[in-house]
Amino acid sequence: MYIATLAWVLLICGYRMRRKPGVHIPLILSGILIDYSLVIYLQLTKDAVQTALKFELSPLQQIHIGVSSIAVMLYIPVIILGTLLYRDRTNIKLRALHLKIARTTLALRTLGFLFMFSMLK
């Protein structure tokens, strides 16, 4: 829970610093890296994917898994678009698309974070 909280806080701070690439990029990439590391850890230690696919968890736990999974998948286009945007900071269409997907991803990650507490036993 603490590691997931750290990742979420880094993402929130990174989003708030979006106008300062020198701060935004390391914060966001750190949050994403921690999230991916946590997913790998949970899979290796708790067979997370197999557990989720059994559909034996509560509806709140399933919501957590669903929105968190989508957010983790959306990190890929966010990173790709962010890299392209970093190379061409004047591309308004690219900036709008990156921001739209990044905001959606952050909203889903926030929902996943809130529903994460349903996983406590």
d(CA 86, CA 110): 25
pLDDT of residue 34: 97
| Separation of alpha carbons 78 and 119, rounded Å | 27
C-alpha distances (whole Å) from 43 to each of 22, 88, 119 are 33, 37, 15
Instruction: Indicate the number of domains in the chain.
Output: 1
Single pTM value for the model: 0.91
Q: Taking a C-beta distance cutoff of 8 angstroms, is the pair 69, 103 a contact? A: no
Confidence of residue 15 (pLDDT cuts 50, 70, 90): very high
The whole domain housing 36 covers 2-119
Query: By the 8 A CB rule, do 108 and 72 touch?
Result: no
Nearest 5°: CA angle at 112, between 108 and 118? 155
Residue 119 has pLDDT above 90, yes or no: no
Tens digits of residue pLDDT in 85-118:
999 999 999 999 999 999 999 999 999 999 999 8
